[in-house]
Amino acid sequence: MSSAADPLAPLAGLPGVADSVDSVRKAVDRVYGHRVMRRRSAEITSEAALRGARGSAALSGADWALEEVRRRTDFGSEPEALVVGAALRLTAEAGQLLSIWRQSPLRVLARLHLVASGSTADGDVVGRPRLAGEPVSEPLVDLPLPSADEVAGRLDGLTRLIIAGGPAPALVTAAVVHGELLALRPFGSYNGLVARAAERIVLINSGLDPKAICPAEAGHAEQGTAEYLAAFEGYVSGTAEGMAAWIAHCGRAVELGVRESTAVCEALQRGAA
């Protein structure tokens, strides 16, 4: 990501991005207009959180069936269970951090990593960006790891961007936040989960999805890990085509999340009939 004063303005004008933004807005408006939302929006939000957590965990290597995630209460020492538990905690925590995000994004990111880690067992490496020489566990992303100095500089730029705000569409901002955190891998662990939770926060906080009923994480997972990584490599490339492809991928993820919640609305409507 460029460190220019307003790097999102040119991104919003890339070929195809405006179409993605428009398509996402129309999809979100449709599900918000569903008759079930007027009476049972809390149930839709709860189910969307569960499906979003399942999707995010799947992209981090714990591809459990939705009913298994719903049924389980023990997320103890097994590697996949730890990932699913972290994803569930992050989804629950994201809604508690909305008021802090625009004032102190780094504080929110630190909190997200602490929540994902679930304990202070790793000492002072939890809840702060990594230092030089500290290892990173992120098996999904096999790309060169930015240095600690680069991480610090780019996190500062991302923070200034979020605090300053701007006219860029929510989808563009969410895609950049997600891509930048995944590219930087600023923490020693759980970077993918944190990046997707931050994307969720942007989508909610921007007003695009204020009730958190459009789980983009579920849409990312539905498109598959290979497609997710291919689109992410477009972000890392920094080219106009690559950035546009990543934003379009994120837009499609939101639309697929909308489809999930629409199906839930339809199921609830049938049950009430």
pLDDT digits (tens, 9 = 90+) for 13-69: 899 999 999 999 999 999 999 999 989 999 999 999 999 999 999 999 999 999 999
pLDDT-above-70 percentage for the chain: 95
Say if residue 120's pLDDT is above 80.
no
Q: CB neighbours (10 Å) of residue 225? A: 15
CA pair distance 224, 221, nearest whole angstrom: 5
For 235-254, write each residue's pLDDT tens digit: 999 999 999 999 999 999 99
C-alpha distances (whole Å) from 88 to each of 39, 152, 157 are 25, 28, 29
**Residue 12 pLDDT:** 86
Query: Is 90 exceeded by the pLDDT of residue 119?
Result: no
Averaged pLDDT, 63-90 = 93
User: What confidence category does residue 128 fall into, taking pLDDT thresholds of 50, 70 and 90?
Assistant: very high
Q: If you ran DSSP here, which 8-state letter would residue 137 be given? A: B
- CA distance linking residue 220 with residue 255, whole number of Å: 10
Given this model, what pLDDT does residue 166 score?
87
User: Residue 48 in contact with residue 200, Cβ under 8 Å?
Assistant: no
Could you tell me the two tokens for 160? 């200034």
Indicate the average pLDDT of the chain: 93
Stated pTM of the model: 0.94
3 state DSSP class of 2? coil
CB under 8 Å to 160, separation ≥6 — which residues?
Answer: none
Band (pLDDT 50/70/90 cuts) for residue 123 is low
3-state secondary structure of 35: coil
Confidence of residue 2 (pLDDT cuts 50, 70, 90): very low
